[in-house]
Amino acid sequence: MVDHLFLRACRREPVSRTPIWMMRQAGRYLPAYRAVRERASFLDLCRTPELACEVTLQPIDEFGFDAAILFSDILITLPPMGIEVTFPESGPKIGNPVRDQAAIDKLVVPDPDLALPYTLEAIKQIKAALHDRVPLIGFAGAPLTMLTYAVEGGGSKDYARTKKLLYGAPASAHALLDKLAQTCATFLEAQIAAGVDCVQIFDSWGGIVSPGDFREYPLRYAKQVIAQIKSSRAYAAKPVPIIYFVNGCAPYLTDYASSGADVLGVDWRVGIDVVRRSVGDGVALQGNLDPGALFASPTEIRARVSDILERAGKTGHIFNLGHGVLPETDPEHVRAMVTAVRELSSSE
C-alpha cells in the first residue's frame, strides 16, 4: 500500500501536511448524496453495496479528503442482534427497546459474515473503486452508545432509562455491554478482514456520565473492544490504526488516553492543545472544528482552521470536525475548510 498521509498521521510519523476527513462526509449536505437518496431509502443505501460504494466515493471526488469512510450506520448491527430499527425522518426508532434482563438474554452476538454481508461486500467494492487513492475507514458504534439506543428506543434528552439500567441494575447493564462489545469487536474484525485500512469506534454518547462512571462503563467496554480486535487474526494479518471517539471527552482526558486506541477523537468543546497536554505524546489526535462553525464565512472558517492547526501541531494530527457535519452545511464552506487545512498546514 502507498504510504498514505492519513495513516502516517495515525502512527504519529512525520507528514508533509495535515490530513483531513470529515465525520458524515458522505451525507445529506452533499447534493450528489441527496440525488442517490431520492432513489433509495437510508437502510437500502446501507444494505446495497453498489449504492454504499457510490456515496462513499462522492466526497473524495468532490473535495479530495485524505480518507474515505464506509457509508453505513452505527445502528446497522442492532437488527441482527435482535433489536428492530427504523429510520424515519425524525431520527432512528427502536421497535423493541431492551430494558430488562430477559430482553438482554435474548440478544445474540451476530456473525458478520452471515448477518452483515452487504457491509463487507460494500467494503470490497469501495476498496476496488478507490484503487488505493486514499485509505478506507471502517466503523462501529461503541458499546455504551449502542446501549443508549437499545435502551432509550431512540435519541434522548436526559438518558433517564439508560441511567436507570446502569445504576439501578448494574449487573444487567454489564451483561448488555458485554454483548454489545463482542458485537462491535467482531464486526470490526470482519471489516478489517474485508479490507478497511483503519477502524473508528464511535462513542457519541460516551460523554453523558461522571468520570467514575466513564471508567466503569464506556471506557471499560471500549477497551474490551480494542483488546479483542488487537488479539484477532484479522488484526494480526493487518494491524490497522484504531480510532476511539468520545463526544464530550473533556472531563475524562487522563482516562481517555488509556483506551488502547492509536488515535483519540476530540470534539469541539475543548482545546485540542489542552487534550494534547493531558494525554501526552503516545496517541494521535483527530479533530476538532465545531460542525456549526461551517456556518461562518470562509474567512472566519480559515481563521478557525488556523487556530486548530496551531494548537494541534503537525505531528499526530488528523483534521476533522468535532462531530458529524450538519445536513444544512453549504458544500462550498466544506471546500473552504479543506483548502485552508491543505494550504495552512503545508506552509508551516
Give the interface segment with its own copies, choosing from 30-38, 56-64, 202-210, 335-343 (CB under 8 A).
Answer: 202-210
- Bridge partner list, 321: 289
Spatial distance between the Cα atoms of 25 and 31, rounded to a whole number of angstroms: 12
- Site for its own copies (CB under 8 A): which residue of 187, 205, 268, 319? 268
* Angle at the Cα of 100 from the Cα atoms of 98 and 105, rounded to 5 degrees: 80
User: Which x/- pattern, by CB under 8 A, does the window 91-120 give for its own copies?
Assistant: x-----------------------------
- DSSP label at 77? G
Grid cell of 297 as nine digits:
464565512
Which residue number, 248 or 316, has a Cβ lying nearer to its own copies? 248
Per rule CB under 8 A, is residue 216 in the interface with its own copies?
no
Among 40, 43, 129, 250, binds its own copies (CB under 8 A): 250
Q: Does 208 bind its own copies (CB under 8 A)?
A: yes
Q: Which is nearer to its own copies, 16 or 254 (CB)?
A: 254
Specify the residue for cell string 425522518. Answer: 89
Stretch that binds its own copies, among 65-73, 78-86, 114-122, 151-159 (CB under 8 A): 151-159
C-alpha cell at position 234: 484479522
Regarding 257 and contact with its own copies (CB under 8 A), the answer is no
CA–CA dist 285, 273 (Å, integer): 10
Examine the residue annotation and report whether 24 is marked as an active-site residue of this protein: yes
Q: How far apart are CA 236 and CA 241, in angstroms?
A: 12
Grid coordinates representing 329 are 452545511
For the CB of residue 297, give the shortest distance to its own copies in the complex, in Å.
Answer: 8
Least separation, in Å, of the C-beta of 338 and its own copies? 18
Residue 149 designated active-site: yes
How near is the Cβ of 227 to its own copies at its closest, in Å? Answer: 26
C-alpha cell at 343: 494550504
Rounded to whole angstroms, the Cα distance separating 248 from 266 reads 8
Residue 170 Cβ vs its own copies, minimum distance, rounded to whole Å:
8
Instruction: Report phi then psi at 308, rounded to 5.
Output: -65, -45
158 forms part of the interface with its own copies (CB under 8 A): yes
